[in-house]
Amino acid sequence: KQEVTQIPAALSVPEGENLVLNCSFTDSAIYNLQWFRQDPGKGLTSLLLIQSSQREQTSGRLNASLDKSSGRSTLYIAASQPGDSATYLCAVNSGYSTLTFGKGTMLLVSP
């Protein structure tokens, strides 16, 4: 059974810092890995999708890496802003487009 772990569970940083969120998974037989953002009381917004054959993806200030063999992914956020405050979820697709989620990292960026 696939299990996904996210570390840390919560993170508080001052505005402007670069930060790294970590995700690990137990079964390397994945199709892809996706990072989502969730604001309180809201739905999920897809940030980045990394295919199993890729090593990284970038979108603006966000960069996600994937090391499938070691079962690890990182989400790097550059020059953090208060608007980045949200919960970040990592999810792996092991087939049939069904996702196994981590419990998330709650990020607070203070002005």
Partner 1 sequence: NAGVTQTPKFQVLKTGQSMTLQCAQDMNHEYMSWYRQDPGMGLRLIHYSVGAGITDQGEVPNGYNVSRSTTEDFPLRLLSAAPSQTSVYFCASSWGQGQETQYFGPGTRLLVL
CB 101, min distance to partner 1, A: 4
Residue among 88, 86, 85, 82 nearest 101 (CA): 88
Tell me which of 25, 34, 73, 107 binds partner 1, using CB under 8 A.
34
Compare residues 3 and 15 and give the one whose CB is closer to partner 1: 3
Compare residues 58 and 81 and give the one whose CB is closer to partner 1: 58
Are the beta carbons of 36 and 88 closer than 8 angstroms?
A: yes
Query: Rounded CA gap, 9 and 23, in Å?
Result: 11
Compare residues 22 and 52 and give the one whose CB is closer to partner 1: 52
